[in-house]
Amino acid sequence: MTAREPGGGTLAVSVVGRTGDLSGSANRPEATTTPSGRSAAEATSYQRLREHLAYLQMGAAAEHLSAELDRGLREKASATQVLERLLQIQVEDTRARRQRGRLRFARYPVHKTLAEFDLDFQPSLDRAVVAELSTLRFVDEKRNVILLGPPGVGKSHLAIALGIAATDAGYRTFFTSAADMVAGLQQAHLEGTALYKFRTYVGPSVLVVDELGYLPLDQQSANWIFQVVSRRYEKGSIVLTSNRGFGDWNQVFADPVVASAIIDRLLHNATVLNIRGHSYRMRGYTAQQKAKEGGARVR
Ligand code: ADP
Ligand code: MG
């Protein structure tokens, strides 16, 4: 029987049994048993296991090891079940930590969710379009989302909520105001690190660009926006908010050629949400007028 011992925990347990049998003494098993009822050999295995988990940086599993082993014994669970439960705890912990990391990286100014958005308050918004966006298919399809409307209608809220939903789903995202992005690229350009800086805005699966159009942009600034939009073109989604309709973008960008080049790429594969429905600001926006009020996909 001893020659066929498979080793590990089984061996440790049988060692206790044999020691007890051989000695015939009631004291011996106590001497080879840890205070928690584990044999000495098993205690060593347990310590090693904790060390392995610590080395592999599986802190949550290490923390729950003792409790899960006890539970396994209590419930006569198989080794597979005990391992599965333990790793499940570690996976959940790692997933939550990565999620927090992505959220920190993305630099959202406030935390907003789609659930917090009151659709009843905003009847001009097409619920079906918002529901479709909340599936995050737009991220996989590298579709852009353009939120237009006057101040206070919830453009930033929706943009941030979509970005955070994507972050929660495991995508890398990044939030910036249009002004900060332009300033960041201009600064990097002066320092000779513009190419590196572009990675911040091109790398993530979703780039949220808030408040385009609040300030008019000079030629160079318009060029930075154009660079980001074209580098992301068909590579990743942009969620953009603006208080100015496309008809006004000629004024926002100073250069109408750059403006139409940016609009062209942004709208090639985009969902447009005009939160107040038809607006005076949209008067110059003719190319996509077939798009239905509230939201439409433009291809
Ligand atoms: P915008 O970017 O269009 O100017 P915001 O998204 O900043 O507007 O909205 C202003 C404030 O009002 C934010 O705190 C936002 O969370 C809140 N808000 C706007 N619309 C709604 C809504 N429909 N439901 C819940 N909160 C909203
Ligand atoms: Mg806003």
pLDDT in tens, the chain (299 residues): 333 433 333 333 333 333 333 333 344 444 444 545 668 998 999 999 999 999 999 999 999 999 999 999 999 999 999 999 999 999 999 999 999 999 999 999 999 999 998 888 888 889 999 999 999 999 999 999 999 998 888 999 999 999 999 999 999 999 999 999 999 999 999 999 999 999 999 999 999 999 999 888 999 999 999 999 999 999 999 999 999 988 888 888 888 899 999 999 999 999 999 997 433 233 334 345 545 545 555 55
| Same-domain check for residues 18 and 80 | yes
Owning domain of residue 159: 107-298
| Same-domain check for residues 196 and 66 | no
pTM: 0.78
| Same-domain check for residues 223 and 115 | yes
Q: Is residue 155 within 6 Å of ligand 1 at its C-beta?
A: yes
Domain count, the chain: 2
Q: Is residue 151 within 6 Å of ligand 1 at its C-beta?
A: yes
Residue 164 — φ and ψ, nearest 5°?
Answer: -70, -35
Quote the CA–CA distance of 297 and 65 in Å, as a whole number.
51
Ligand 2 centroid distance, CA of 211 (Å): 6
| Same-domain check for residues 249 and 122 | yes
C-beta of residue 207 within 8 angstroms of C-beta of residue 113: no
| Same-domain check for residues 211 and 267 | yes
Ligand 1 centroid distance, CA of 157 (Å): 5
Ligand 1, pocket-test mutation among 146, 157, 243, most atoms within 8 A of CB: 157
| Same-domain check for residues 45 and 185 | no
Six-digit token pair at 279? Answer: 């607006």
| Same-domain check for residues 89 and 121 | no
| Same-domain check for residues 86 and 182 | no
Q: Which amino acid is at 145?
A: V
| Same-domain check for residues 209 and 139 | yes
**Domain-terminating residue out of 79, 100, 121:** 100
**Domain-terminating residue out of 100, 116, 144:** 100
